[in-house]
Amino acid sequence: MTSGMVGASPRRVGGPERVTGSQRYVADIHLPGELHVKLVTLDAPRARIHSIDTSRAEQMPGVVTVLTPDDLPQPIPRYGPQFQDRPVLAVEETKYHGEPVAAVAAETPEEAARAAAAIRVDHEILEGGVFSVAAALDPHSPLVQDPSMRTGNPLSHTNVLAEHRYEWGEIDDSTADLVIDEKYEFPMVTQFAIEPHAFMAAPDDGGIEVWSSVQHPFLLQKTMASILGMPLSRVRIHAPDPGGGFGGKQNPKYEPLVAFIALRAGRPARLILSLAETFQAVRRSSAEIRLRTGFTSDGTIVFQDFQSNFLIGAYGDIADRVVGKSNYLAAGPYRVPNVRIVARGLLSHTTPSTAMRGFGTPQLGWARESNIDRAARQLGIDRLQIRLKNLARAGEEFIPNETPADGDWAQTVERAAKLIDWGAPLADGAGRGLAIGLKSGPTSGLSYSTVRLLADGSAVVYAGTSDMGQGARTIFAQIISEELGIEIDRITVTMGDTARVPYDQQTSASRSSVLMGNAIARACADIRRQIQAKVAARLGVDVSEVLVELGKVQGPEGESTIGESLAMALGPLGGEFTGLGEMRVEGDPEHPLGGRAVFFELHCAACEVNVDRETGEIEVAKYVTVGDVGRALNPRQVAGQDEGAAIMGLGHTLMERMILDETGRIINMGAVDYRILTAMDVPMEMVSDSIENADGPGPFGIKGVSEGGLLATAPAVGSAVTEAVGVVINDLPITPERIWKAIREQR
């Protein structure tokens, strides 16, 4: 018996606030007596700071405090989710364009901006910064990170932050009839959430309250407590729903800086980044990948040999995890007996890269799928068939000691092929492409949830997940609706405040529906057990005579809904039932990633493009995205996630790229010269579909979604462009100019 919420698409919980303008994002919240913070930065990536003269700024109207490195605890506190290497303010030397060297707090944003401009930073621009993979690997290049930051690490005298090697089988070129050996480039792109990052902090009686558009409020709480030397209980993080995150809001950024200012001034302080400043705060790692793939003449992949260099930026953030986790799955969803992957994260004098939707996977998929395409063309094998031939079957252990293939992946690929009319005749200048993406979901995790079933049969759920657009609130309400038989509009979902909700590790890796979803389902089960015990006790029967299932209570006196039995179960005092749920995936310390994948996101992208031979312009006429989702708990939201991800993927495929000048400054910060797709750039026809075999680890058999849609976008488009005009592009984005150039060179 179900309430019919699985597979339904109710209106979004939090939707009315979003369409009336009443949804409060961080920048919409004001604190009494707040100060406005402006960062002081240099117009150069790498500079030695000799001195900072704040005297003029401090005399300016409205200025309350100026924070320089000298005003911070010494040594200057450093933080980061993986390595504690990012200083609150630049220490002696800036490492990237836009790294804050000081900050001003004033009564108005204008006064703060004027004072920031009046701060004189005596500095010397250092030549020879590291802005490219080649420079990072050049032993003559300067070191981005001081070796003392990681003494004892054999890599400390290089710009390699870490190197990961994964290997199984043995690469032997003689086993292959054809070896494709190519180099691919994936550009620096940025998350470009429409809500620029926003931070506020307020002293709170020996503790601190922080507001941040953050995806991981509990990680932020831990960071703040550690940096400020406060107990977790005195650090309260308010995390209003972010206006888009895409990974860029996972980890602490300027919260520590704002907190130091607030504590110094004894007043609340706020820092709202400009869109341009977000380009200097977050980005996706660019990558250069050399891939050798060996095939037999029938298209069987015999080996894949990756050398991946990810240019991760000035500080570690979570980039090493990005490199390690994505490369571990670089060989993709295929049965490949021999694999060697050497992956490096390279420090550089550029914006620190962080998580971004797909977490390194799109970079590798671009190389892998493009190589498969080349082989198919050279071997005269259909591009769909070569993939199906090598695709791991359900249950197959395609990576040694890893979670076996957790779905009927061929079904996904065949569905996409069908939806794009694979093999149908094409007009001149048109081409089709198809590619597969595979990403590991979380490898460990911990989510707690509390569900309160109130006396009138309504419910409140407390969850530490951030709803940044993926629709977590709605999913959670649907799960409770199903588990307890409550109408969805009688459920309140409370999130975004560490003082109110129990611990959740993070909102990332498409995990929340599965991990938090399970925690919530367990909290509901806890409530059902309590109801069962209470009903049995009140009836004076053994608990075995009472059955409480999804929304229903069955006892000796017949069946009723949970709502109907609630008053009896609670008794004369009323009250409520409080259920606790925990979902813990501890992982495996022996595993290279610290744990096996809880689930995979397997996605197939297929498209049809028209290319103008003379100008190189590309029109994506039709785009198909199919995901193996286990079960679409909310099909409308799944479509929104998949199509949205695909369109975001078309950004790095066709137009997005952060451009650095020769001195390493970003020259296209902002919306004018860094283009993301508009409504008019969306493919003429967009089709999304899901394969639902209820074979996922989440409630009702769901798997995570949200990233899958962009994993294979670039290689699908690249493949289609090649079919359309015969040229192969190895470097993203595939711009008209690059196509034009390739066509010209082909002649």
Partner 1 sequence: MKQIVLTVNGRKHSYIPGESFLLEVLRDHLELTGSKVCCLEGECGACTVIMDGKSVNSCLILAEEADGAEIITVEGLAGEDLSPLQGAFLDNAAAQCGFCIPGQLMAAQALLDRNPSPSRAEVREALAGNLCRCAGYEQITDAVLDAARGPT
Partner 2 sequence: MSGSRYERPASLSEAVTLLAGSDNTHPLSGGTDLAVAMRYGRAKPGLVVDLKAIPELAPSIEMADGLLAITANTVMTDLENDERIRKLLPALVEAARVVGSVQIRNRATLAGNLANASPAADTPPVLMALGATIVIHGPSGIRALSVDDFLVDYRTTALDPGELIVAVQIPMPARRSSSSFLKLGVRRAMEISVVCVGASIELDEDGSIVKAGLGLGSVAPVTLRPRNAEKLLVGNTASPELFAAAGDAAGGECSPIDDLRASGEYRKAMVPVLVRRALSIAQERSGVGV
Site for partner 2 (CB under 8 A): which residue of 28, 53, 70, 110? 110
What are the C-alpha distances in Å from 217 to residues 246, 282, 500, 612, 699? 15, 18, 12, 48, 24
> Nearer to partner 2 by C-beta: 271 or 654?
654
Site for partner 2 (CB under 8 A): which residue of 456, 667, 694, 746? 667
Site membership for partner 2, residue 654 (CB under 8 A):
yes
* Segment interacting with partner 1, rule: CB under 8 A, options 31-39, 340-348, 463-471, 569-577: 463-471
- In which order are the strands placed within the sheet that holds 459-463? 491-494, 459-463, 445-453, 577-585
Q: Cβ neighbours of residue 56 under 8 Å, at least 6 residues apart?
A: 118, 119, 120
* Segment interacting with partner 1, rule: CB under 8 A, options 73-81, 438-446, 676-684, 730-738: 676-684
Alpha carbons 107 and 136: distance in angstroms, whole number: 43
Residues within window 187-206 making contact with partner 1, judged by CB under 8 A: 191-196
Token digits of residue 342:
């050497």
User: How would you class 648 by CB atoms within 10 Å of its CB: exposed for 0-12, middle for 13-18, buried for 19 or more?
Assistant: buried
Alpha carbons 625 and 427: distance in angstroms, whole number: 22
Q: Which does 471 bind (CB under 5 to 8 A by kind): partner 2, partner 1, none?
A: partner 1
How near is the Cβ of 678 to partner 2 at its closest, in Å? 5
Q: Which does 740 bind (CB under 5 to 8 A by kind): partner 1, partner 2, none?
A: partner 2
Q: Name the nearest CA neighbour of 131 among 161, 159, 153, 155.
A: 159
Q: Residue 614: count other Cβ atoms within 10 Å of its Cβ.
A: 9
**Annotated catalytic sites, by residue?**
707
> Nearer to partner 1 by C-beta: 242 or 708?
242
Site membership for partner 2, residue 655 (CB under 8 A):
yes
* Segment interacting with partner 1, rule: CB under 8 A, options 48-56, 310-318, 347-355, 631-639: 631-639
Site membership for partner 1, residue 380 (CB under 8 A):
no
How near is the Cβ of 647 to partner 2 at its closest, in Å? 13
Q: Name the nearest CA neighbour of 255 among 55, 503, 502, 498.
A: 498
Token digits of residue 385:
């068939």
Site membership for partner 2, residue 673 (CB under 8 A):
yes
Token digits of residue 229:
């030397």
Site membership for partner 2, residue 685 (CB under 8 A):
no
Beta strand 93-94 with 685-691 is unpaired
How near is the Cβ of 673 to partner 2 at its closest, in Å? 6
Residues within window 21-80 making contact with partner 1, judged by CB under 8 A: 21-25, 27-28
- In which order are the strands placed within the sheet that holds 63-67? 63-67, 102-106, 35-40, 269-272, 198-204, 207-212, 235-238
Q: Which does 737 bind (CB under 5 to 8 A by kind): partner 1, partner 2, none?
A: partner 2
Q: Residue 747: count other Cβ atoms within 10 Å of its Cβ.
A: 4
Q: Which does 573 bind (CB under 5 to 8 A by kind): partner 1, partner 2, none?
A: none
Rg (CA), the chain: 27
Site membership for partner 2, residue 19 (CB under 8 A):
no
Site membership for partner 2, residue 737 (CB under 8 A):
yes
Site residues (vs partner 1, CB under 8 A): 9, 11-12, 14-25, 27-28, 191-196, 241-246, 272, 274-275, 468-471, 636-637, 639-640, 643-648, 670-672, 676-680, 682, 686
Site residues (vs partner 2, CB under 8 A): 110, 614-615, 617, 654-655, 659, 667-668, 672-673, 675, 677-681, 735-737, 740-741, 744
